[in-house]
Structure 1
Amino acid sequence: MFIETIVVDYNGIVLFEPYLLRRRYGGAIEDGTNLFALFTTSDDGDRVLEEGLIVPVLAIDDSPYKVIVRRSSEPEIVRGTVVAENKVFPLRVAHGLVIADLVVLRDWTEGLGWKPVDVEPGNYGVTVRGFRLLDATGCRIVEAGYEFILEPQDALPVPTADVGKNMRVMWSAA
């Protein structure tokens, strides 16, 4: 299980398998490459999702978030209320996962800001849940974040998640 704070400065979080992503682009990705533009202006975005190379959480507020990555067999630890859910993202793991601010796809720099996530190799179906915990008045967010739940699969599942889904968890009730 992975539990850490990820600071988002580019309106998103991405969970990905660096080895397989590099392999898709010839074994290396040049520093400074804007994969985000490639993914959003060509069919490559759909392909990397279908191939299970990345799991994105897009169009969220810049903020620090508690991020949890766990297998479905591990206990749930989300405090507060789940306010958004998106499933299923396919995910293939060959060597290991990392999680980072979405900026890594806009300005590729090998390893910069990446946090390793210890997950066994294999195929997974991933559900992303956004959550928030409010104070006693119900007006202030005490904690907010995202949980990535990895369900082991025999084969890579077909994606049913919607990358355009509203996954924002930051708001003020006041």
Structure 2
Amino acid sequence: MKRSALIELYAPGIVLFDPVRLSGFISDERIRETNIFEAFLDDELLGRKAINQGVVCPIYQISEREYSVFLMTQDDGLANLPEPIFVYPGFPLAITSDVLIVSDLNALLDWDADFFLDYRAQYDSRLPSNDYIDVEPGMYSLTVRGYAALREQPSKLGYGLELVRVQALPEISDGASIDDLDFELEGR
């Protein structure tokens, strides 16, 4: 089971998503353009809906560099992790397939459904700006922890993902915004 990803950002943010759920959302919402990120910005309610339904979890604005992104489980030696710079709990995340894509924002800026829906088969032709983690299908409450000075990951900077299975996705309040959170790790 692949529990970690290493990505190099070419755009200033990370997006987490199940490609089957995102593709279904795009189809259900009749989004025609390939720049899904712009569609979310143009229609804030659409972007909020994607987040609230656990279709995407954005982590931005962050520096364009290399990051480790990893699942946090008791089996993975959590005692060896440094103190987190931040802990942001309560993000909804829904997994239909068993693939969680970890990508820079380019995945949404130029959506390629054929590539992401067949990600494992396409893995050898991917760019370093995307990777994946195996996650069992289900609904989760996601906590994102930011780390610097990681010792047991390929990059010293990274994000730990704690997934707690839930019966219903956590709700994000109407006044809350991803823009209010500081996910930056560099220089901290």
TM-score normalized by the length of structure 1: 0.82
Q: Which residue of 1 aligns with 2:103?
A: 100
Q: Does 1:163 align with 2:178?
A: yes
1:78 Cα offset (Å): 6.1
Query: Which structure has greater strand proportion?
Result: 1
Is the contact made by 1:34 and 1:105 (CA closer than 8 Å) also made in structure 2? yes
User: If each structure's helix is expressed as a fraction of its own residues, which one has the higher value?
Assistant: 2
Structure 2: runs of 5+ lacking an equivalent: 117-125
**Equivalent residue letter for 2:135:** V
| Mapped contact 2:10–2:106 kept (Cα < 8 A) | yes
The equivalences for 1:11-50 within 5 A come to: 11-26=12-27, 33-42=34-43, 43-50=45-52
Report if aligned partners of 1:84, 1:169 keep a CA contact under 8 Å in 2: no
Code of the aligned partner of 2:111: W
Q: Deviations over 1:36-90 (max 9, x none)?
A: 111112111100001010111110000101111245x554266323112222110
How many pairs are equivalent? 164
Determine the C-alpha separation between the residues in 2 that align with 1:60 and 1:85: 16
Shift >3 Å, 4+ stretches: 27-30
Matching residue of 2:162:
149
Distance 1:50 1:117 in 2: 21
- How far off is 1:12 after superposition? 0.8
Percent identity between matched residues is 28
Closer, same or farther: CA 23–57 of 1 in aligned 2, 3 Å = same
Equivalent-residue separation in structure 2 for 1:15 and 1:133 (angstroms): 23
Residue of structure 2 in register with 1:138 after alignment: none
What SS does the aligned partner of 1:26 have? helix
Q: 1:116 to 1:22 in 2, by over 3 A?
A: same
Change over 3 Å in CA distance of 1:115–1:5 after alignment to 2: closer
Q: 1:29 to 1:4 in 2, by over 3 A?
A: same
Task: Give the match for residue 5 of structure 1.
Answer: 6
1:3-48 CA-to-partner distances (Å, cap 9, x unmatched) read 2321111111111011111112227977x71111111121111000
Structure 2 CA distance for partners of 1:134 and 1:92, relative to 1, 3 Å: closer
- The answer (yes or no) to whether the contact 1:14–1:55 under 8 Å persists in 2 is yes
Question: Which amino acid in 1 is paired with 2:178?
Answer: V
Instruction: Give the alignment's TM-score, normalised by structure 2.
Output: 0.76
Alpha-carbon distance between aligned partners in 2 of 1:117 and 1:101, rounded to the nearest angstrom: 14
State the secondary structure of the residue aligned to 2:178.
coil
Kindly state the Cα deviation for residue 92 of structure 1 after the two structures are TM-superposed.
0.9
1 CA distance for matches of 2:87 and 2:40? Answer: 22
